[in-house]
Structure 1
Amino acid sequence: MENIQFKTLGKGLSAFVIQEGEEKIGEMVVGLSDQYLTAYHTEVVPQKEGKGLAGQLLAAMVDYARQHQLKVIPLCPYVNAQFRRHPDLYEDIWEKERSEPD
């Protein structure tokens, strides 16, 4: 697994970031509140797509949510798709009531 850092971006946003040297090659932007983590956007640079980096970002976000006892609102299309494909893996943290409809 790549080294994933958690960074505060400001304006209520944070991100899980993968860097290769000084270059950011993957990022998952999230918002945090007392009981929720909202996943907004996941992006991997085109040259690094298909190498599992988005999955690593997802795993880091899920670990963070579980450690901090947060429910996840998956507004990011990638995160939402993964939660819907594998509901048994995310049942404990998935805030279905506030997720985008099918």
Structure 2
Amino acid sequence: MLIGFCQRSRLLALPLTAGKHLMEIPVAFGKAVKIRRIELSISQEDLANRAGLSRSFLSGVELGNRQASVSTVWRLAEALECQPSDLWLKAEALIVGEG
């Protein structure tokens, strides 16, 4: 049931008024990618190659300057040996100050 799924997420509790957190989302997602990459002890270049991305694009994602498409998030997750949701949950934790 979709409603039950949404109720499990803390994102619904985030006060998104005036888009306060919207600017933080790409930065938090990029940090989540970088944290996982460092956990695996791989370089940006290695991760970029595994995901089929350019190193400069990956660098932009990690800095929050570039936004990954849904398919790119999926490819990053596969290359990082995790689920796409793991990256988003880490990003969410960073935004709410739990990460």
Structure richer in helix, relative to its length: 2
What is the TM-score of this pair, normalised by structure 1? 0.26
Question: RCO (CA 8 Å, sep 6+): is it higher in 1 or 2?
Answer: 2
What is the TM-score of this pair, normalised by structure 2? 0.26
